[in-house]
Each structure stands twice: as structure tokens, then as C-alpha cells.
């Protein structure tokens, strides 16, 4: 019953509470494993900074820019010029799902983000102001 109540609570979460929750989660230090394109190795990144911005005309979509630093690799990787300490940026979004297990829950967008131009400019400006972007 507690599990059901927790899921119900998440489904009712607005974007402001979602961003607040994710900020708390992101502050906990943990490595982010990403598979190498060759599928025989992994890259492990530390999230150094991030910026959230809800879409201006869609309250159930939140864009994200993350600054990631490569901490280590594991297995065989395809990119010989990638070095420990390199900084990479990840651009993505979260959206409230419409079907299946993700229905009415915030979930990571699995496709490339589509963002209105005004929101793109706001997101970049906000990420620079918050020093997520270092250029």
C-alpha cells in the first residue's frame, strides 16, 4: 500500500516539486555510467553542475543541461582520444509519461529533445548564469 501511495504522489508532482526533488537527488555524489558505442566498455562521469528549465507552454516537460566530468572507463572503449578529466555536456529532458509504467510519472526522455527557440535561448542563458556552461 505504501508503494502505491508513493507512485500516486509522484504522479501528482508538478514541475516545481520535480525540479526540487531532482536537485536534491543530483547533489548526492554518484557516478553516471554510460555505455560505449561499441557496447564493450563504459564511461563513468561525475555530474558537476546542472540547469533545469520547464518548457514555457508545456508544464509536463523539463529541459536539462548537465556538465559531466569523465572519472574513469571500464572495458574496451571506442574513443581513444577521450581522457580522464575531460568535460562533456549532456542535453536532455524529462517528461510526464503517457503510457505503460511511465504513465503519469516523470521519466527521462528517450529521444532527442525538441525545444522551442525561446526556451532554448533561456536555457542557455540560465546555464551560463548558473555556471553550468563554462564557455
State the average pLDDT for the chain: 92
Banded model confidence at residue 5, pLDDT cuts 50, 70, 90:
very low
Which three cell numbers mark 47? 555530474
pTM: 0.86
- Assign 3-state DSSP to the chain and report helix, strand, coil percentages, each to 5: 30, 40, 30
**Domain segments of the chain as ranges:** 2-129
Strand partners, 7: none
Amino acid at each position: 500500500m505504501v508503494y502505491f501511495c508513493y507512485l500516486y504522489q509522484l504522479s501528482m508532482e508538478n514541475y516545481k516539486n520535480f525540479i526540487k526533488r531532482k536537485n536534491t537527488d543530483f547533489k548526492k555524489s554518484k557516478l553516471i555510467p554510460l555505455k560505449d558505442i561499441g557496447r564493450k566498455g563504459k564511461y563513468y562521469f561525475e555530474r558537476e553542475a546542472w540547469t533545469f528549465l520547464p518548457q514555457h507552454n508545456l508544464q509536463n516537460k523539463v529541459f536539462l543541461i548537465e556538465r559531466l566530468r569523465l572519472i574513469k572507463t571500464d572495458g574496451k572503449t571506442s574513443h581513444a582520444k577521450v581522457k580522464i578529466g575531460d568535460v562533456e555536456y549532456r542535453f536532455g529532458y524529462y517528461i510526464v509519461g503517457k503510457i505503460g509504467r511511465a504513465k503519469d510519472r516523470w521519466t527521462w526522455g528517450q529521444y532527442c529533445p525538441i525545444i522551442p527557440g525561446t526556451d532554448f535561448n533561456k536555457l542557455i542563458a540560465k546555464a551560463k548564469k548558473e555556471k553550468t556552461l563554462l564557455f
